[in-house]
Structure 1
Amino acid sequence: MGIFKIEGGIPLKGEITPQGAKNEALQILCAVLLTPEKVTINNIPDIIDINKLITLLGNLGVKIQKIGSGSYTFQADEVNVQYLETEAFKKEGGSLRGSIMIVGPLLARFGRGYIPKPGGDKIGRRRLDTHFEGFINLGAKFRYNREDHFYGVEATDGLTGTDMLLDEASVTGTANIVMAAVLAKGRTTIYNAACEPYLQQLCKMLNSMGANITGVGSNLLTIEGVDSLGGCEHRILPDMIEIGSWIGLAAMTRSEITIKDVSWENLGVIPNTFRKLGITLEKRGDDIFIPAHLDGYEVKTDIDGSILTIADAPWPGFTPDLLSIVLVVATQARGDILIHQKMFESRLFFVDKLIDMGAKIMLCDPHRAVVMGHDFKSQLKATTMSSPDIRAGISLLIAALSAKGTSTIQNIEQIDRGYERIDERLRAIGANIIRA
C-alpha cells in the first residue's frame, strides 16, 4: 500500500490543468461496445478506475490502440461475449463500479449482458434497480444468482422501445438505459432522466455515431431506435470534480492558482457554491483564477440571516462528489455552515479524521454535519490518516496541505482511482508531497 507524506502550511502558486472527466469516461468507454467500427476517444484520464475499464474491454476482445497521451482507438468487431461467464470476469468486473455500464451496450448489440455486483467507494448503498428495471421495460429478462452476486439480462429477440419513468434520476442508470435503447426497435422515452453534462456528452457521441436522441440536456429523452451505429471521434470534458478540488485547495492553502481550460459552461452551480463560502473566483477566458485569500474567506448567510446550508442534488443541483471538498474548506472559513449529504449515508464518516486535526465539526447524523470555521486563527494539525474513498481522500489531502507539520495519508490507491498523477501535479505548483 502506498502512502503520501505531506509537509503542510506551504502556499502554492501556478497553473494546473484538470484531467479528463472520470465519470464521463466510464460511460463513453462502455459505448464503444455498440459498434464494430473504430471509435477514437481523446482526453481520457490516466487513473486506476479508467485503466481497469480499458483492461476489461481488452479482455472482452475489443482492439485497443494508444495513439497519444490520453488518446485511444477502440474497435469492438470481435467481442467475446463468452468471457462474461468466466471466473476471471467475475473477479475483474466486481472490482470496478463503472463496469455496470457495459451491460446496456452488450444487451443492445448481443442480446445479453452479465455483471458481478460492482465494487467502488464504500460510501453507502448504491442501488442498481434503476438500471435493471429499465432493461426489463425494454423487454429483457432479468436473473440474479444470490450465491455469486451475479446479475444477468437477456433479450434473445431484441429490445423494444417503450415509455418509462425512472424511479430516480440516476446518472449511470440513465446512461445504461440510453445505450440499450439506441438499438431497440421503435421509440423509447425516458422521463426523470439524469441530465448531467457527462450524460449530455454521451448522447452527443451516440448521435454522432448515428443514434437518434432528442431532449438532450433535459429530463425527458426521446430515442428512436436504429439498426446499427458507426464509428466516431469524441473528446472528454475536463473533470468538474477535480476543478472543484483545486478551488478548495487554493482557498485552504491561501494560494494563488489558475485552473486552465475548465469549460465554464459545463460547471453549473459549482463556482457560485464556492462563492457562498466567501471564495473569490475570477473568470479569465475559459480559466478560473483564484487569488491568495490572505484575509481568509467569510461564509454568506441566507437572506434571513440563518446558517448557510449546502446540500447535494441531481444536476443542475450541486454534485455530491464535491460536498467533501466544501466540508474541509469550511473548517477554515469565517462563520458556520451545515453540510447535508442526502444521497449517500456513509460519505461523512471521514470527519473524525478532520476532528483529530483540530477541526470543529459536529456530526449530527449520517447525512448532516455542522462545521464551525476557524478563520485561520487555529491551524489544523498534522496527523496520520487513511483515505476511505476517492473524494474523502482528496479532502484529507487538502487538509494535510494546509496543516502545520508533516502528515501521512495511507491507502492512497483510493485517491489514485480518481486523480491522475496528483503528487506530480501538486509538486509542480510548489507542494511538498512525497509518494512512498
Structure 2
Amino acid sequence: MNAFEVRGGKKLKGDIVPQGAKNEALQIISAVLLTPEKVTITNIPDIVDVNLLIELLGEMNVKIERPQSDTCIFQADDVDIDYLHSERFKKKSGRLRGSVMLAGPMLARYKKAFIPKPGGDKIGRRRLDTHVIGFEKLGAAFNYHAEDGFFHLTTSKLQGVNMLLDEPSVTGTANIVMAASMANGTTTIYNAACEPYIQQLCAMLNRMGAKISGIGSNLLNIEGVDYLGGTAHRILPDMIEVGSFIGLAAMTQSDIRIKNASVDHLGIIPDKFRQLGITVNIDGDDIHIPEQEIYEVSRYFDGGVLTIYDHPWPGFTPDLLSIVLVTAIQAKGSVLIHQKMFESRLFFVDKLIDMGAQIILCDPHRAVVIGLEREQKLRGITMSSPDIRAGQALLIAALSAEGKSIIQNIEQIDRGYQYIDERLRNLGADIKRVEG
C-alpha cells in the first residue's frame, strides 16, 4: 500500500490549474453509450475512478482513441451487452460507484441494463432507490437475481412520465435524464438536481439531438427522441479541487493563484471560504489567495456561532465540508460543521485531534471546530485516508503541520486528485510518494 510522506510547515507559492471535474466526467463518459457516433471529450482528469470507467467501456467493446492524455474519442457502435452481465464487469464495477450511470444509457438504447452492488467511498449509506424508482416510472422492470448477484432492468420501450424525485440526487438525476432522453413522449422531472455537472450533461445531450429544457433549475422537461448523434464536449474544472486549493493556501499561509477556475460555475463556494475570513480575490477566471497570517470566522448578526452545512445545489456541496473543517482549525473563532448527507464522513476528525486540532465531534453529522489562531501548529503523525475528500483534508493538515506526516491508503486520494503530489511539489511542498 502506497503512502505520502509529508514534511509540513512550508509556505507554498505559485500557480496551479485544477483538473477536469471528476463527478462531471463520470456522467459525460457514461453518456457516450447513447449514440453509435463518435463523441470527443476533453479535459478528462487522469484519476483512478475515471480511468476505471474508461476501461469498462473499452471492455464493452466501445472504440476509444486517445490523441492526448486529457482527450478521448469514444464510439459505441458495437457494444458487447453481454459483458455487462459478466463476472468481470461485476468485479471491476463493484470498485466504482459511478458505474451505476451506465444503466440509464443502456436502458435507453438497448432496453436492458445490469447493476451490481455499487462501490466507492465508505462514507455512509448511499442508496440507489432514486435511480431505480425513476427507471420504474419510465416503464422498466426491476428484479434482483440472487444467483448472479445483479439487479436486472428490462423494458420493451421507455415511456415519458411526470415524476417527483424523492431526493435531488445528482447521479440519480443524470441517470434518469439519460434514460428519458430516448423515451417515448415527454418526461418531467421535479426536484431534479441542478448542479453544474447536470447542466453540462444536459447541454451535451442537447447538442447530440436531445430536447431538454429547464436546464439549471430543479424542473427538467425532456422530450424523448429516437436517435442521438455525436458531439464534442469539454469538462469543467473541478470545483472540489478549486475549494481544496483555497483551503490549502489559507492553512499553509501560502500565496497561490488558481488558474482557469471557471468562476461562473462555482456558486457560493468562494463565499463560504470568505465566511472563514479567507481573502478570496477573483481576477478574471483566476482565483488569487494571498498569504494571510490570521483569518477570522464570521459570526451571525445576532452573535451566534457560524454553521456551515451541505445542501443540494445551489447550496454548498458536501464534498467540500471536509476541506472547510480542516481549514477552520487555524482560524480565529469557532464554526459548527454540519454534514447532513453522509453519516460517516466526519469520522476522520480523530486523526486531526491527534495532530493537535481542537474539534468536538458532537455526533456522526456534526463537529465543532475551535480555531487555534496559529498559536500552536499541528504536529505530524501517521494516519490513513478513509475516503477521497477526507484524504485531501488530511493532506492539507499534514502540509500545515510541524514535522513529518505519513498518509497511508493514498489510493483513495488518487481516485479523485490527479498527480496531486507532483502538482504540490511545483508549489514548493515537501511531499513524496512512498511505495508500500
Band the TM-score falls in, shorter-chain normalisation: over 0.9
Letter matched to residue 337 of structure 1:
V
Which position in structure 2 is the counterpart of 1:200? 199
Which position in structure 2 is the counterpart of 1:100? 100
1:85, distance to aligned residue in structure 2 (A): 1.4
Contact residue 278 and residue 300 of structure 1 kept, 8 A = yes
1:148, distance to aligned residue in structure 2 (A): 5.1
Matches within 5 A, 1:104-119: 104-119=104-119
Distance in 1 of aligned mates of 2:326 and 2:136: 42
Matches within 5 A, 1:10-409: 10-146=10-146, 149-155=149-155, 157-294=156-293, 296-409=294-407
Q: TM-score, normalised by structure 2?
A: 0.99
Distance in 1 of aligned mates of 2:72 and 2:87: 28
Letter matched to residue 404 of structure 2:
T
1:420, distance to aligned residue in structure 2 (A): 0.4
1:146, distance to aligned residue in structure 2 (A): 4.3
Distance in 2 of aligned mates of 1:420 and 1:84: 28
Distance in 2 of aligned mates of 1:85 and 1:300: 53
Letter matched to residue 89 of structure 1:
F
2:41 match: secondary structure: strand
Q: TM-score, normalised by structure 1?
A: 0.99
Q: Using the TM superposition, name which of 14-23 and 141-150 deviates more.
A: 141-150
Letter matched to residue 176 of structure 1:
N
Deviations along 1:272-309, one digit per CA (max 9) or x if unpaired, are 00000000010111000000012x10000011100000
Distance in 1 of aligned mates of 2:146 and 2:393: 36
Contact residue 64 and residue 74 of structure 1 kept, 8 A = yes
Distance in 2 of aligned mates of 1:69 and 1:105: 25
Letter matched to residue 161 of structure 1:
G
**What is the percentage of aligned positions where both structures have the same residue?**
68
- Long gaps (5+) in structure 1: none
1:149, distance to aligned residue in structure 2 (A): 4.2
Q: CA RMSD in A?
A: 0.7
Contact residue 116 and residue 148 of structure 1 kept, 8 A = no
Letter matched to residue 398 of structure 1:
I
2:380 match: secondary structure: coil
Following superposition, which runs of at least 4 residues in structure 1 exceed 3 angstroms of deviation? 146-149
1:363, distance to aligned residue in structure 2 (A): 0.4
Distance in 2 of aligned mates of 1:337 and 1:7: 28
Distance in 2 of aligned mates of 1:356 and 1:148: 44
Equivalences, count:
434
Which position in structure 2 is the counterpart of 1:431? 429
1:183 match: secondary structure: coil
Deviations along 1:410-434, one digit per CA (max 9) or x if unpaired, are 0000000000000000000100000
Deviations along 1:170-209, one digit per CA (max 9) or x if unpaired, are 0000000000000000000000000000100000000000
2:73 match: secondary structure: strand
- Long gaps (5+) in structure 2: none
Change beyond 3 A, Cα 1:147–1:322: farther
